[in-house]
Amino acid sequence: AQEQGDEHHTASGGLEYDLCSNPSCCRKYTTESELVSLAGKTNAEARIKAMSAAVSETSGEVLTYNGKTAMTLYHASSPARTESYESLFGTAVPYLVGIDNVDESSFIHYKKETYFTFLDLQVLLAANGYEYKHVENEVFSVTLNENLRANNIVIGSTDIPATDFIKIIGLKSCCIEITTDGAGYLFKSSGYGSGLGMSQYGASLLAMQGYSYKDILKFYFKDTSLEKR
């Protein structure tokens, strides 16, 4: 969070303040009473104690690459590999590359699937600006990148960027599979989120195995350093 705040400082979506409460831009923080209502008093107190200790222990520490503040991106869960920044945005970031991840299949939201008849899919895609009309024996395919995530989805003659497609049909990751029963398509995804940077669930698993926060940062952000500022 400290690196995220440093990185977003004076750059909060071009707005005239440093940080905002939009989860898609900066982050939204909760009050103690809100946390108690969500997690219960005992769990909330334990979480607050752990978070306060983590803030104190890492005070002044910043993750850097070649002396500059690193983009410490993160996501909920990844399957076999994390994603690279270059695959999504076309610009290479040396420490945001795909890595072999730990087994996260125990994550409660690891798998998701959704089914659409051909007609339902046609209506849904049309509502989102993509023309699709089912034809018998149509070709459907998923183009994967080096990190086993979909770049593009082709259904019949319709070619859709995977990042758009998963939002349209309600999946949580670009690690997807497609099957058909002759009446529609079944879409399955593994993992949750963009896959960029640190996996929150993976980091939790590593911590339970005895890895320190420094070890976990080195695992997910290659060739970075922790500096005191």
Burial string for 111-137 (b: 16+ CB within 10 Å, else e) reads: ebeeebebeebbeebeeeebebeeeee
Tens digits of residue pLDDT in 163-214: 999 999 999 999 999 999 999 999 999 999 999 999 999 999 999 999 999 9
At 29, list the tokens. 């923080």
- The model's confidence at residue 226, banded by pLDDT at 50, 70 and 90, is very high
**Mean pLDDT score, 84-95:** 95
119-145 pLDDT, tens digit each: 999 999 999 999 998 888 888 889 999
pLDDT digits (tens, 9 = 90+) for 96-114: 999 999 999 999 999 999 9
Q: Any residues with CB less than 8 A from the CB of 229 and at least 6 apart, and which?
A: 60, 61, 62
Query: What is the value of pTM for the model shown?
Result: 0.80
